[in-house]
Amino acid sequence: MEITGEGRPPLYNSHLETGTRAIVILEAAYPRALDLARLTWFDHLVVHTKDIGGPDSLHPALPGRTGELLIRRRLVEESLSFMRRLHLIDVTHDETGIAYRAGDDASAFVNLLTTNYALGLKERARWLIAELGDLDAAHLTKRVADQIGRWSVEFQGEDSLPRQRS
């Protein structure tokens, strides 16, 4: 568990919070598996849906919010590992690389999330997967670049671009 300088777990962007968003996204995408790059983008977009023409965002439209994408990859990766240890996420691999899928217990976990925020998150995750889930890597990259800025896509580098899954 991460600890802040004050000796407490962080309130925002903890492994638990980010991992919970990942499980909600993966449950909405089930049975599809999503790679780390796509999950990193989706983690940002699921709380900023208005930025890509979707429902009102769960998080405020703060200036510089697209910069969150630049630091999010490591946090998402660590959060996926944390949720995997809890048996809520399965890891798959094929010729395109490593991807993540909602585990057997993910649906039951997601069903326990009943706050207004959690219900909004689940609704936006379903919208996000319906809107972007089937886009191939090139079309997803273009959509993100068109909507939130080319610099975010380019700065993350080639390793952060979604791979085409078979």
- Reported as a single tens digit per residue, the pLDDT across 106-132 is 999 999 999 999 999 999 999 999 999
Taking only the tens place, the pLDDT of each residue in 125-152 is 999 999 999 998 888 888 877 776 644 5
Token look-up 């094929």 returns 94
69 class by beta-carbon count within 10 Å (0-12 exposed, 13-18 middle, 19+ buried): buried
Confirm if 153 and 67 have CB atoms less than 8 A apart: no
Q: Are 55 and 61 in contact (CB under 8 A)?
A: no
Please say if the pLDDT value at position 13 is more than 90: no
- Residue extents of the structural domains in the chain: 15-160
Half-sphere exposure of 116 toward its Cβ, with a 13 Å CA cutoff? 1
The tens digit of pLDDT for each residue in 63-121 reads 555 556 666 888 999 999 999 999 999 999 988 899 999 999 999 999 999 999 999 99
At 104 the pLDDT is: 96
Query: Cβ distance 132 to 140 under 8 Å?
Result: yes
Judging by beta carbons within 10 Å of its beta carbon (0-12, 13-18, 19+), is residue 58 exposed, middle or buried? middle
- Locate all alpha helices (DSSP H) within 8-163, ordered by sequence: 15-29, 36-45, 68-85, 106-111, 116-132, 137-148, 150-156
Q: How confident is the model at residue 155 (pLDDT cuts 50, 70, 90)?
A: very low
The stretch 1-12 carries a mean pLDDT of 62
Nearest to 45 by CA among 141, 155, 154: 141
